[in-house]
Chain A
Amino acid sequence: MNNALFESLLRLGDNTLVIGHRVSEWCGVAPVLEEDIALANMALDLIGQTQMWLGLAADVEGEGRSADDLAMLRDVWDFRNVLLVEQPNGDFGQTIMRQYLFDQFHLLQLQHLTQSTEDRIAAIAQKAVKEVTYHVDRSRDTVVALGDGTEESNRRMQAALTKLWPYIGEMFAADAIDLEMATAGVIPDPASLRADYDAATRVVFADAVLTPPAGDFAHGGGKTGFRHSEHLGHLLTQMQWLQRAYPGARW
C-alpha cells in the first residue's frame, strides 16, 4: 500500500465527513426554511464526497475495508480531519463562519486536485469542485450579509471569526506526507494555497465589516491525528453508535 496516498485520502474524506456531519446537526432547526434546505443540500454534497474519498482510500488500502468501515469503525486517533471542521456548531454565525473558512480552502484545494497526476483523485475533484464552488458562494454571501447586517449580527460574526481564527493555519501546514504527495503531483502543497486564500478572505472580511484578529497562531494535530480536540470523540460517539452497538448487522 502507498501509505502517503492512503493518508492523504483520509485527510480529504475525513474533512468532508466531519464537517458534513456537523452541518447535518442543523437539520430541522435552522433560522429559516430556506436555510434548512440549503444546509441539507450542502451536507448531502459533503456526504457524497466522503463516500468517494473514503471509498478510494479503502481501495488503496486494499484490506477489504469499505468507506463505511472507515467512517464508522475508526477511533479518534485514526481520524485525519483538520481541527476546524470538528469544532462545535455554536450559534448559526459560528457554523456559517466555520463553513466559509473551510469552503474557501476546500475550493482552492479541489481546483488543484482536478489536475492531480492520480486520475482517480482528479475525477473525484472534477465532480466535487462544482458543488464546492456553490458552497463557497453561499457561505461567503451569508458571512457578508450577517457581518454587514445589524449590530448584533456583526458582533456575533466577529466573535465567530475571533474564535475560529487559530484553526485556519492547520489547513496550510504541510508535513512530510503532503510534501511527498505534492512532489509526485498527486496533491498541491497546502502551503502554496495560502496566498490565494488570504487574498480571497481579506476581501470578504472587509465586505463583512469584520476585523481579522492579530497574530497567526495556529492549533495543530488534527490532520496528523496526533491530538484532536475533545469535540471529535463526542461526534463519533453519536455517529458510530449503531455500528458499534450492533457489530456485524447490515443496515
Chain B
Amino acid sequence: MYAQMVKSEASQEDPEKLAAFQKRIDANEKIEPKDWMPEGYRKTLIRQIGQHAHSEIVGQLPEGNWITRAPTLERKAILLAKVQDEAGHGLYLYCAAETLGVSRDELTEMLLDGRMKYSSIFNYPTLTWADMGAVGWLVDGAAIMNQVPLQRTSYGPYARAMVRICKEESFHQRQGFDIMMKMANGTPAQKQMAQDALNRIWFPALMMFGPSDKDSVHSSQSMAWKIKMNTNDELRQKFVDQTAPQAEYLGLTVPDETLAWNDEKGGYDFAEPDWSEFHDVIQGNGPCNADRLEARNRAWNDNAWVREGMMAHAAKKRAQKVAAQ
C-alpha cells in the first residue's frame, strides 16, 4: 500500500448535501471532478493520491540504485522498463490529483519540504541484486494487494488511473519473482543473497499496509467514502496468505518463527512488524529517509534551470506565433 496513515478530514457541510453524496457513493456511482463533493473528501483524496504519486516517484530510487549494476543486458532492460513504469504511474496519479485542484508542482514542493509523505518502504536500502527480486516480489506484490480493490474506488479519475497501473504492476511482481527464482536456485552466494533480502524486506513489506486496525484512527470515514476499500489488517493477512507459500516454493525462510497455517481461521498466523520502527521511519528516521529526500531535492533544484529554459523557449515560440498572426 503506497498510502499509509492518510488522515481523513471531517466535513462540516449541509447535511442534506452530504447525505445525497453518500447515497451516490453507496450506489457505487463514480464521483467526477465537476461533481459536488464534500471538502473533506476532496482534501483526503488529495492527500492520498498525492502520497501515492510521491511513492511511485521516490520508489524509483531504490531500484534505480541497481540499474547501472544489473548483471546482464536483459536484466538491465527489464529493470529499466520497470522503473520507467513507476515514473508513468506517478504521472497518471499527479494528473488524477490535478483534477481536484492541486497542481503537480504544488504537490512536488510539499514532498520536497517534507509536508507530504511517501510509503515507508522506500526508506529502506537495496543492498544486493537479490533486493531487485525481493522488491518486485514483495513490494510490488503488496502494492497490487492494495491497488486492485482501488480500481473500484469512488473517485472516477483515481479509479481509472488504478486500472492502468494494475495492468503493469503484475508484470513487476512477476519479474521480481523471476529474479528470486534465479537467485534461490543459483550458487550458494546467490541463495544467501536471496535469503538476506527476504530477511530485511519482509517486515518493512508488512508495514506497507499501515498500522493495525485497532490503532488505525482514520479508516472509517475513508471506507464510507470508498477511498479505502479494505482495512489494513485484512490486506496484510491476504498478503501473508499469498506470499508465505511462495517463499516456501523458493526454498527460503520467512524471518518469522511464529508463521504457521491456522486451519481454523483459514489463513496464516504471523508476527506483527515492529511498530516502533515503523513510526521512526514515518517520522523521518528510516535508514534512507535523508538520502531519498536529498536525492529528490537535488534532482529538482539542480535541474531548475532546465525547466526554466524549456518554459522560456516555449514562451518565445508562442510570442513569435502571435506576432506572425
Contacts and interface: CB of A to CB of B under 8 A. Distances in A.
A pairs with B = yes
A71 B70 CA distance: 12
Given A40-B81, A145-B314, A30 B71 contact: no
B190 to A, nearest CB: 6
Interface in A116-170: 142, 144-146, 148-150, 152-154, 156
Contacts of B80: 24, 27, 40, 43-44, 47
Contacts of B324: none
A32 interface: yes
A174 interface: no
Contact of B309 (A72, A145, A250): A145
Interface stretch (B36-44, B85-93, B154-162, B263-271): B85-93
B87 A67 contact: no
A37 B88 contact: yes
Given A28-B83, A33-B87, A152 B305 contact: yes
Contacts, number: 142
Nearest to A152: B305
Contacts of B167: none
Interface residues of B, number: 48
Interface string A75-98: 000000000000000011100000
A51 interface: yes
Contacts of A251: 71-72, 75, 129, 179, 182, 186
Given A28-B57, A251-B179, 10 more contacts: A25-B67, A33-B94, A47-B80, A54-B73, A72-B72, A144-B313, A145-B310, A239-B69, A250-B186, A251-B182
Interface of A: 17, 21, 24-25, 27-37, 40-41, 43-44, 47-48, 50-51, 54, 67-68, 71-72, 91-93, 142, 144-146, 148-150, 152-154, 156, 238-239, 241-243, 246, 248-251
14 contacts: A28-B57, A33-B87, A33-B104, A37-B87, A43-B80, A47-B77, A72-B71, A145-B310, A149-B310, A154-B309, A239-B69, A242-B71, A250-B182, A251-B179
Interface of B: 57, 60-61, 64, 67-77, 80-81, 83-84, 87-88, 90-91, 94, 104, 129, 179, 182, 186-187, 189-190, 295, 298-299, 302-303, 305-314, 316
